[in-house]
Structure 1
Amino acid sequence: MNKVVLITGGAKRVGAGIARYLHARGWRVLLHYRASSAEAQALADELNALRADSVAIYQLDLLQIERLPELVAAAIAQFGRLDAVINNASSFFPTPIGEFSEAAWTDLLGSNLKAPLFLAQAACDELKKTQGCIVSIADIHVERPFPLHTLYTVAKAGLVAMTKSLARELAPNVRVNAVAPGANIWPDDGGIFTQESRSQILGSIPLGRIGRPDDLAQAIHFLLEAPYLTGVVLPVDGGRSVVL
């Protein structure tokens, strides 16, 4: 396989898990990162040691919208094609009503919605050439909002709407889908998820554990390889959305 995937925020945590999973299945990977240069380089070195010249890295602040075409150009320059874009990069922090700012709006809406939308625009011509696809990471809390996270919820809801709209507009040449995780690696949230709240969440998951990066990566891989699926938002939450 010579397929190429661009993963935003791919240097660590879930993004790195997705990169490892897809790389193990033959994909070549362009890892985007913003600040995690050491982690990005270490992951690229790890994977290139397994298969030479199969991973490249590119640094960019996704809120610099005018520079997003650089990511597409980097994939073409390094690998000669682009088959998939995974919108993984995301800001996540609480924004209680009465306290949030325009800066928080810019950050949360920018990383979770604006950048994925403009990156899709930048990538669509190359994806059409390869009959490629876009997969975004949404959230089960779009339907049942998590307390104190209104701006994040609005952004992810927009990402779901984007997925469905682009699935229609870019068909039949480009498929556009999303996965919607529940708990998958506890976030660095400044203490919003206390030990008590984590135990409560864990107790509400029918399958009895929080997700792992491989759980999301497996679902993403399925969507990448499913030629008759577009406009789908696939829950990957251990059944938690059934009981919320």
Structure 2
Amino acid sequence: MKATGKVVLITGAARRVGAAIARQLAAEGCQLALHYKRSAAEAEALVQDLRMQYGTEAFLIAGDLSATETPARLIDAAIEHFGRLDGLVNNASLYAPAPFGEITPGDWAAMETVHLRAPLFLTQAAAPHLRKSGGAVVNIGDIHAEIPLRGYLPYSVTKAGLLALTRALAKELGPEIRVNSVSPGVVLWAEDKDPPDGDQQGLIERNALKRVGSPQDIAGAVRYLLFDAPYVTGHNLVVDGGRMLY
């Protein structure tokens, strides 16, 4: 399916994997609604770059996904600007340690909000518009949904919940809307942190391809699930270089 002219909303789009997804879809001719929370300067620079490099029609929507009104507001803003919606990418994520025995209700609530509540209510608000366009949803998971990361229990468990949400939404929204997820392995090191489950070279060695992936690998998978996978729904596409084989 051609992506030219399709309208896609991406959450957490200003940086890292979110920005790579935006670039991939812009190169394909998509029109983009790009959500960010705090990274205003990076988001604005990204939009300017997309416009200059690809002629992309893109606009920014700031919002805190922990606010209950934000999901519906993001969808309404995209529809008001473009008049339609063809894809939703739930990319926004929160990655932070929470050692067992020290986990607080706030730790859990923060992860649950970003990884479960926001994707659910964004998808619910988007569904009427995606039905009209025959659109798709892609959630960005993590291999640690299936290989829990020690010291990161709320992160791992809520990402596992996101995979369950993906499958449940695929049942709820078919046949008009497809819902899938992408689970990255190591494609970027966490900022200002050593890898929690070993040194960088050790993680690479526990990987069938013996190298780190790139955000572009994830962006390509998202593009495939949005536009080139008409008979795929409820699926989790693992992009990890073979990490889950070890």
- Go from structure 1 to structure 2 and tell me whether the alpha carbon gap of 1:198 and 1:53 turns closer, same or farther (over 3 Å shift): closer
- Residue in structure 2 matched with residue 191 of structure 1 by the alignment: 193
Mapped pair 1:149 → 2:166: no
Q: Cα offset for 1:191? A: 3.1
What's 1:32 paired with?
35
Matched, 1:207 2:218: no
Say whether the 8 Å CA contact 2:148–2:157 is kept in structure 1. Answer: no
Match of 2:110 among 107, 110, 117: 107
Aligned AA for 1:232?
H
Q: 1:219 aligns with which of 218, 221, 225?
A: 221
Q: 1:194 to 1:137 in 2, by over 3 A?
A: closer
Question: In structure 1, what residue type is equivalent to 2:144?
Answer: H
Aligned residue-pair number:
242
Q: Select 1:11's aligned residue among 11, 14, 33.
A: 14
Q: Which residue of 2 aligns with 1:236?
A: 239
Q: Which runs of 5+ in 1 are unaligned?
A: none
The TM-score with structure 1 as length reference comes to 0.95
Q: Are the structure 2 counterparts of residues 195 and 240 from structure 1 closer, same or farther at C-alpha, using a change threshold of 3 Å?
A: closer
* Corresponding residue to 2:63 among 51, 60, 65: 60
Counterpart AA for 1:218: G
RMSD: 1.4
The answer for the alignment partner of 1:85 in structure 2 is 88
DSSP 3-state at the match of 1:68: helix
| Aligned counterparts of 2:160 and 2:56: Cα–Cα separation in 1 | 37
> Which secondary structure state, in structure 2, belongs to the residue aligned with residue 153 of structure 1?
helix
The counterpart of 1:168, out of the listed 163, 166, 171, is 171
Q: Which residue number corresponds to residue 158 of structure 1?
A: 161
Distance in 2, Cα, partners of 1:93 & 1:194: 10
Identity of aligned residues (%): 45
- How far, CA to CA, are the matches of 1:135 and 1:111 in structure 2? 15
CA separation in 2, counterparts of 1:171 and 1:44?
A: 33
Q: CA 1:146–1:72 in 2, change beyond 3 Å: closer, same or farther?
A: same
1:92 to 1:196, Cα distance in 2 relative to 1, 3 A: closer
Distance (whole Å) between structure 1 residues aligned to residue 17 and residue 46 of structure 2:
13
1:120-170 residue CA offsets vs partner (Å, 9 max, x unmatched): 111111111100011001111112211111101110011000000000010
CA separation in 2, counterparts of 1:192 and 1:209?
Answer: 17
Tell me by how many angstroms 1:50 deviates: 3.0
TM score, norm. by length of structure 2: 0.95
